[in-house]
Each structure stands twice: as structure tokens, then as C-alpha cells.
A and B are shown apart, each in its own frame.
Chain A
Amino acid sequence: MRKLNRVIGILLALSIVFALAACGSQSAPQSSGADKAETANASFRTVDEIKEDGTINIGVFSDKNPFGYVDENGEYQGYDVYFANRIGEDLGVDVNFVSTEAANRIEYLQTGKVDVILANFTVTPERAEEVDFALPYMNVALGVVSPDSRVISDLSELTPEDEVIVISGTTAETYLTANYPDIKLQKYDTYANAKNALENGNAAAWANDNTEVIAYALQNPGYTVGIPSLGSNDTIAPAVTKGNESLLNWLNDEITALGGENFFHTDYEATLVDTYGTEYEDSLVVEGGKTN
């Protein structure tokens, strides 16, 4: 009997905890919605407030070479960081870099813990509901790399026997599965395995983010990027907290103005040219916020 009581007690305690947890998760979206309305002004800083403070907080990757990384002297470097430093310069404030992860970028903006995210942030409709994107400064698309002996420059060149390598969970896999269900895919979990498979001639081509395949072809002679841009052309843009009109407008004006001096080409030549070469400069860089 005492044993039974104890079991009931534990079950009760557990159910209370689960009930609490369930309440928490149910009320979370509601309360955050209400907060947005109430503390709309407290969760972000306007351009004037940033200038007054003298420091802008910019969220960047600290481990995505060559977009945002930390060099051997502990300094932030990369394409995004180069732009972030320019923003600080033009605002007349210091830049405080905050190391972000792919999974917490939106959260950082919504809580106002950073003013801007410049972490290789691809614009998607789902994200645009949570944060405000400024004008884009880079293009991303998928790319396909294949051996020089048989360069695939269009997916229609693939015969029914040909297989294409993808890394599981990437946009390349999703895109090919949805749009080309007839193409046979060879799926690998890691970059290293996919690379080995291509080099062993297991498949006709390898589809991945175009920046990745371009960098691969540049470092591995004997391979060519036959299709440098495939699928929906996405862009990378700075993001600010939803509703921060003041900073958003400032950033848009800044990006438009920087187009006049070809700033992002200078940025590319300073940070990305070693990885991607000059051949793709014009297709990767977006100048003045104007996509083709």
C-alpha cells in the first residue's frame, strides 16, 4: 500500500511538472505577441539611441569562414564583418560583435540583444514574418559541380542512369527532390563523404550551395562548376528587429549609397576572392540592393 502511495505521489508530481511545462509552451506565443505590442519600443533601439550610446551591437557568425570568423589574433574578419565595420564607421559608433549561431539569430533580434544581424542571413518569407530585412547585399543559389571529363551544364544532360550527390538536410536535397523527382540522388551525411564520393566517380555531379561548389572547384583542379546558379535565387540581407523603422531605413539608405562607390565589390575583393575567385564576383555580389 505504501508503495502504491509513493507511485501515485511520483505520478502526481510528474503530471504537475508536465502541466506547468504545457502551460508554459501554450502561453508562450500569446505572451510574446502581447509583449511586442506593449514593449514595442523597449525591445529595439533607434538610430538616435544607438548614436547616443556610442556602440552598435551587431550579431555575426564567429565560425563561418569567409563570411564571419575570428582570425588567429582574436579579431573578427570576413565579408559580413567588413560591412559591419563600415556601418559602425558611417554611424560614428563603435561596433560590438556578438557571436551568434544559426539557431538563435532571430531570438537575438526579437529580444533586442543585438541591433543588427549580419550573419549570412538568407531572406525567406518565414523569417520575414519574424524580423525586418533590409536591402540585400549578396546572392545565394544552388550550384552543380562535375568532373572536367563530362561537365554537366544543364540538368537535362543527365541520363536516367546518372546519379547526383547531395548532402542530407541541405537545400540542394530539398530542391532536387521537389522539382526533379526523376533524378536519382546519392545522399551523404557529411561534406567529407560527399567529396570522396565525387572524387571516386560514384556519381555524375554534386549539387550544393553555389558558394560551396565554387570554392570546391577552385581548390580541386579537374572539376568545373557547370551550373553556377540553380533553383530559386535567394539573397542575403541585414536584419533588424521587427518594427525598427528608423534603423531599417538608415540601413537601406546606407546600402543604396554604398552602391555608388561599389563598396560590396571592394568587400568581395578583400574577403571572398581567395575562396571564390574573381570569376563569380558579379553573380555573387549585390550592389546597391539591386538584384537582377
Chain B
Amino acid sequence: MPDLGLDVLFKGKNMLRLLGGLWVAVKISLISVLLSIPLGILLGIVMTFKNPIIKAVTRVYLEFIRIMPQLVLLFIVFFSTTRTLGWDISGELASVIVFTLWGTAEMGDLVRGALISIPKHQYESGAALALSPAQTYFYIIIPQTVRRLIPLSINLVTRMVKTTSLILMIGVVEVLKVAQQIIEANRMTSPNAAFGVYLVVLLMYFMICWPISMLARYLEKKWR
């Protein structure tokens, strides 16, 4: 077994600090996911409207968020709002705002895609059975949409968890930043600590994302 410098994790409160950092990352992604899903579903429904103005506005919003790297969005929300509007928002709040804007845009597009993928004859069959448009939506369209959405939205959630590694750039000390702090504090005494500590961080991300993927697989099977 090569020396991975894992002993640095057992010095002082290092392991607790690392777990605390993980909690920061999970908390921010959890809040953002809980906000993005309902907002994204609304946006997705709005995006299927035929009105050209609504179409253009939602399209520009979606493409803007997609084209901008998340890091740039974080800098815009954290620093530029202070510069131009004088709002002094915390790094955590800025992260939640950016992740919610991003999650809503991506989720909206997924919902739109799932909605338009339902063949027209499903709506027509509903009408032929004398169901009202609301009943058609509730009993026929939504169950099929949700099933199509699950793998895609779970993928989005895990991406959001992993992208929290960028928020250290706006001063939020999350798991990756704590890992870097631990590695650097022990640079002279355990130069190999980088391997061990990053390996542990990898396992931590895995332990968060893997159960989410398992849940998706379970739901997909259950609702088949």
C-alpha cells in the first residue's frame, strides 16, 4: 500500500471539517434542487405555449444560462450585484441563486422536451373518452411525462451536486476547499496527502450521488 498521507485526516478536527464542508455543498445543492424543480416544471409548461413573445423570452433565458459558464454566473451574481446595485449578498446566497437559475433553465427545457414528446394522439384519445383537458393532463399526460423526466432530472441533480465545487471561488468554504486547506497545511510533513485527501473527497461525492442514481433506477422500474 503506497503512502497516501491519509493520516492527515485524523489530525485534530480535520475529518469533521471535511464532513462540514460536504454538508455545505449538499445543503446548497439541496435547496437549489428543491427550488428548481417546481420552477422548472412551470417554466417547461410555459415554454410549450405558442405565443411568440413568450417563446422568445424563455428561449433567450435558457440559452443565456446555458452558454454562460457557471463560474461566470457566480461572479456576476456575487460581485457585479454589489458593484452595480450595492447588494451585499453572501457567497452561500449567491450560490443558491445561480444554481436555482441554472437548474430552473435546464429543468424547464427537460419538461418542455418531455411534454412535446407525448404523441398528439394521446391528447386526442383523452378527448375521445370525454375527458376534460384537465383530466387528460392529470391522468394521461403527466404520468407519462414524469416517467420520461426521471432519468434526465436525476442526471441534472447529480451535476448540480458536483458543480458546487466551483463555489469556493466566491469564498464559500465547501468540501473541496477544506480538502485543499488540509493538503496545503501539511505540504511539508506529508507531501503525498493530496492523493489520499482527494480520494476521500471523490468517495464523498460518490456517496452523495450514487444513492440519488439508485433512487432514479428504482423509480423508473416502479413506474414502468
- Does chain A bind chain B? yes
B68 shortest CB reach to chain A, Å = 8
Distance between Cα atoms of A225 and B68 in the complex (Å)? 47
Q: Cβ of B13 and Cβ of A74 under 8 Å apart?
A: yes
Q: Which of B63, B79, B83 contacts A17 (CB 8 A)?
A: B63
B134 shortest CB reach to chain A, Å = 31
Q: Cβ of A219 and Cβ of B188 under 8 Å apart?
A: yes
Known: A98-B171, A104-B170, A113-B88. A13 touches B183 (CB 8 A): no
Task: Give 1 or 0 for each of A259-292: 1 = CB within 8 Å of chain B CB.
Answer: 0000000000000001100000000000000000
Q: Cβ of B83 and Cβ of A111 under 8 Å apart?
A: yes
A212 shortest CB reach to chain B, Å = 11
B139: CB under 8 A from chain A?
no
A62: CB under 8 A from chain B?
yes
Residues of A within 8 A of B8 (CB): 72
Q: Which of B17, B67, B79, B188 contacts A65 (CB 8 A)?
A: B188
Interface positions of B from 148 to 174, Cβ below 8 Å from A:
168-171, 173
Distance between Cα atoms of A77 and B181 in the complex (Å)? 11
A20: CB under 8 A from chain B?
yes
Residues of A within 8 A of B86 (CB): 39, 42
Residues of B within 8 A of A111 (CB): 79, 82-83
B184 shortest CB reach to chain A, Å = 4
Q: Cβ of B181 and Cβ of A70 under 8 Å apart?
A: yes
A110: CB under 8 A from chain B?
yes
Summed over the interface, the residue pairs from A and B with CB atoms below 8 Å come to a total of 93
Residues of A within 8 A of B14 (CB): 72
A199: CB under 8 A from chain B?
no
Q: Cβ of B13 and Cβ of A99 under 8 Å apart?
A: no
Q: Cβ of A63 and Cβ of B60 under 8 Å apart?
A: no
Q: Cβ of A13 and Cβ of B17 under 8 Å apart?
A: no
Distance between Cα atoms of A274 and B173 in the complex (Å)? 27
Q: Which of A70, A110, A113, A274 contacts B185 (CB 8 A)?
A: A70
Task: Give 1 or 0 for each of B176-196: 1 = CB within 8 Å of chain A CB.
Answer: 010011111111100000000
Residues of A within 8 A of B13 (CB): 72-74
Residues of B within 8 A of A219 (CB): 188
Residues of A within 8 A of B17 (CB): 74
Task: Give 1 or 0 for each of A64-88: 1 = CB within 8 Å of chain B CB.
Answer: 1100011111100100000000000
Residues of B within 8 A of A65 (CB): 184-188
B12: CB under 8 A from chain A?
yes
B198: CB under 8 A from chain A?
no
A68 shortest CB reach to chain B, Å = 10
Residue among A77, A103, A108 facing the most chain B CB atoms (10 A cut-off): A108
Residue among A63, A104, A110 facing the most chain B CB atoms (10 A cut-off): A63
A74 shortest CB reach to chain B, Å = 5
Q: Which of B68, B82, B181, B188 contacts A63 (CB 8 A)?
A: B181
Smallest Cβ-Cβ distance to A275: which chain B residue: B188
Distance between Cα atoms of A133 and B36 in the complex (Å)? 43
Knowing that A62-B177, A99-B177, A112-B82 are A-B contacts, what are 15 other residue pairs whose CB atoms are under 8 Å apart, sorted by A's residue number?
A21-B64, A21-B67, A35-B84, A63-B184, A63-B185, A69-B181, A70-B181, A72-B185, A73-B13, A104-B169, A107-B75, A107-B79, A108-B171, A112-B88, A113-B82
Q: Residues on A close to B: CB < 8 A?
A: 13-14, 16-17, 20-21, 31-32, 35, 39, 42-43, 62-65, 69-74, 77, 98-101, 103-104, 107-108, 110-113, 215, 219, 274-275
Of the A-B pairs whose beta carbons lie under 8 Å apart in the complex, a sample of 9, sorted by A's number, is A13-B56, A13-B63, A65-B184, A65-B188, A69-B181, A72-B182, A98-B171, A99-B171, A104-B75
Q: Residues on B close to A: CB < 8 A?
A: 8, 11-14, 17, 56, 59-60, 63-64, 67-68, 75, 79, 82-84, 86, 88, 168-171, 173, 177, 180-188
6 smallest beta-carbon distances between A and B, as pairs? A72-B12, A63-B184, A111-B82, A72-B11, A70-B181, A63-B180
